[in-house]
């Protein structure tokens, strides 16, 4: 691939966990109910993800690998109301540019499945093949053609830990989806779906945790907060998801600490609002957001945090 593609790839794909994030998002966008991941060496030598989502028609496989090709936006207006997780059409192209990739997929309505192989962004094989419904994507030798970047990766167990974090996050906000993670054929994680946010939080924060919760709706903005106060802690750990995306936002952090200077502990904050009221398009890895009406976002989080602190003191 040309230099600009490789540079762009480096912006979106930093390490195996970025592959995990992008490919899990694609599977969720495809409506998957079961997502299974297998890694070797923490995803450095091999990363495989399988889903039972809508699949990709064989003829469209090359397109899926093209930069800025997305099936999720058809006109520029759509950018204003992005509701799926992916939208830039960059992830598959970026990963393909810096790895050996194979996609096997079968679209629900299609007779046959398709297979495509790609090495450093060049397609080496594209053919019909029998396949089960859904999509299986295998990424081998991430950054094999970017040795400087490859050297920068951490140990297998450190890379695996980051993947575990990503899977934990998505399992939290998609408790209805089954997630499994295997490293070197050993099962590392399993979420069996059919759960709710509280179940998953208890699993994450510990069964004994007393979890405080508050939620409210203001116009088209909805907020759900959970808090695990950690006595003697001086840290505020916030997991913030806006429309299902894990993001960072200073204003939300400020809202919690303004509600109570001792907001120590772990927080889960889920905000949902119409896509046109939030700009998620300001950074390639989509970790920052900009609220159209940031005052409202601040206020609803502040109010719910206040309600939570009131429960605690009552
Ligand atoms: P984006 O998600 O921004 O559209 P990607 O590069 O991540 O771009 O994916 C490109 C396209 O490939 C998607 O728009 C979608 O049509 C298709 N695709 C990728 N992964 C899957 C999957 N797991 N199931 C079905 N379709 C997929
Ligand atoms: Mg995507």
Ligand 1 contact, 54 CB (< 6 A)? yes
With a 6 Å cutoff on the Cβ, whether 70 touches ligand 1 is yes
Q: Is residue 257 part of a domain?
A: yes
Confidence at residue 74, expressed as pLDDT on a 0 to 100 scale: 61
User: How high is the pLDDT of residue 142?
Assistant: 97
> Which protein residue's CA is at the shortest distance from atom 19 of ligand 1?
26
What pLDDT does 75 receive?
Answer: 59
Question: Tokens 């992005």 map to which residue?
Answer: 82
For residue 23, the CA-to-ligand 2 centroid distance in Å is 7
Domain boundary among 157, 192, 227: 192
Residue 93 lies in a domain: yes
Which class for 55: exposed (0-12), middle (13-18), buried (19 or more C-beta within 10 A)? buried
Residue 290's domain spans which residues? 203-313
ipTM over 0.85: yes
How much is the pLDDT for 279?
81
Residue 307: CB atoms within 10 Å: 17
- Residue 163 sits in the same domain as residue 230: no
Last residue of a domain, one of 146, 164, 192: 192
CA distance 175 to 258: 30
Find residue 222's DSSP bridge partners.
217, 272
Which residue's alpha carbon is at the smallest distance from atom 12 of ligand 1? 64
Residues 176, 251, single domain; the answer is: no
Query: Ligand 1, atom 10: nearest CA belongs to which residue?
Result: 64
Q: What is the pLDDT of residue 223?
A: 98
Ligand 1 center to residue 49 CA distance, Å? Answer: 13
Give residue 246's pLDDT: 85
Phi, psi of 77 (to 5 degrees): -55, -35
User: C-alpha distances in angstroms, 105 versus 117, 195, 197, 249?
Assistant: 12, 28, 31, 37
For residue 25, being part of any structural domain is answered with yes
Q: Are residues 209 and 187 in the same domain?
A: no
| 299 shares a domain with 162 | no
Cα 279 to ligand 2 centre (Å): 17
Q: Are 49 and 134 in contact (CB under 8 A)?
A: no
Predicted local confidence at residue 90, as pLDDT: 81
Quote the ligand 2 centre to 174 CA distance (angstroms).
Answer: 17
Using the mean position of ligand 2's atoms as its centre, give its distance from the Cα of residue 186 in Å: 27
Of all protein residues, the one whose alpha carbon is nearest to atom 25 of ligand 1 is 55
- The ligand whose atoms approach the alpha carbon of 25 most closely is 2
Ligand nearest the Cα atom of residue 90: 1
Q: Ligand 1: does its nearest atom lie under 6 Å from the Cβ of 51?
A: yes
Asked if 34 and 138 sit in the same domain, the reply is yes
Cβ pair 126, 114 in contact under 8 A: yes
Do residues 28 and 138 both lie within one domain? yes
Closest CA to 33 of 179, 131, 168, 135: 179
Q: Is there an atom of ligand 1 within 6 Å of 57 CB?
A: no
CATH of the domain at 48: 3.30.565.10
Give me the pLDDT at residue 262, please.
Answer: 85
Same domain membership, residue 226 and residue 184: no
Residue minimizing CA distance to atom 20 of ligand 1: 26
Evaluate whether residue 197 is within a structural domain: no
Mean pLDDT by 10 residues, the chain (314 residues): 63 89 94 98 98 97 82 58 58 93 96 96 96 97 92 96 94 94 97 89 88 96 95 89 88 93 92 87 68 93 96 84
Atom of ligand 1 nearest to the CA of 137: 23
Overall domain count for the chain: 2
Domain boundary (164, 192, 220) is at: 192
Q: Which among 31, 73, 86, 244 is the best mutation to test ligand 1's pocket, defined by most ligand atoms within 8 Å of the CB?
A: 86
Are residues 73 and 181 located together in one domain of the fold?
Answer: yes
Q: Is residue 198 part of a domain?
A: no
Residue 245 domain-assigned (yes or no): yes
Pair 177, 254 in one domain: no
Same domain, 188 and 211: no
Q: How remote is the CA of residue 228 from the centroid of ligand 1, in Å?
A: 36
pLDDT at 209: 86
Same domain assignment for residues 121 and 265: no
| pLDDT value for 232 | 82
Q: What is the CATH number of the domain that holds 244?
A: 3.30.230.10
Residue 292 lies in a domain: yes
Q: How many A from CA of 225 to the centre of ligand 1? A: 31
- Same domain for 184 and 71? yes
pLDDT score of 219:
94
Alpha-carbon gap, residue 299 to 218, rounded angstroms: 10
């Amino acid at each position: 691939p040309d230099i600009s593609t490789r540079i762009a790839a480096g912006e979106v794909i930093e390490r195996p966990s970025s592959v995990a994030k992008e490919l899990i998002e694609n599977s969720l966008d495809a409506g998957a109910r079961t997502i299974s991941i297998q890694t070797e060496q923490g995803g450095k030598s091999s990363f495989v993800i399988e889903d039972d989502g809508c699949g990709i028609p064989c003829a469209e496989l090359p397109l899926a690998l093209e930069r800025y090709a997305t099936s999720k936006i058809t006109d520029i207006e759509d950018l204003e109301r992005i509701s799926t997780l992916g939208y830039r059409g960059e992830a598959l192209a970026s990963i393909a540019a810096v790895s050996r990739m194979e996609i096997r997929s079968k679209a629900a309505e299609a007779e046959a499945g398709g297979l495509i192989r790609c090495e450093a962004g060049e397609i080496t094989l594209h053919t019909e093949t029998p396949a089960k419904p859904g999509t299986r994507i295998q990424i081998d030798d991430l950054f094999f053609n970017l040795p400087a970047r490859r050297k920068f990766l951490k140990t297998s167990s450190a890379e695996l830990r980051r993947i575990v974090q990503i899977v934990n996050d998505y399992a939290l906000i998609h408790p209805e989806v089954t997630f499994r993670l295997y490293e070197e054929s050993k099962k590392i994680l399993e979420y069996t779906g059919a759960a709710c946010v509280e179940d998953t939080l208890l699993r994450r924060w510990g069964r004994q945790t007393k979890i405080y919760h508050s939620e409210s709706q203001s116009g088209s903005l909805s907020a759900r907060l959970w808090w695990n106060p950690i006595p003697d802690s001086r840290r505020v750990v916030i997991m913030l998801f806006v429309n299902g995306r894990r993001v960072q936002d200073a204003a939300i952090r400020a809202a919690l600490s303004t509600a109570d200077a001792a907001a120590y502990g772990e927080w889960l904050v889920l905000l949902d609002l119409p896509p046109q009221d939030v700009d998620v398009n300001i950074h390639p890895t989509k970790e920052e957001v900009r609220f159209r009406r940031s005052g409202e976002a601040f206020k609803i989080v502040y109010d719910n945090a206040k309600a939570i602190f009131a429960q605690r003191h009552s």
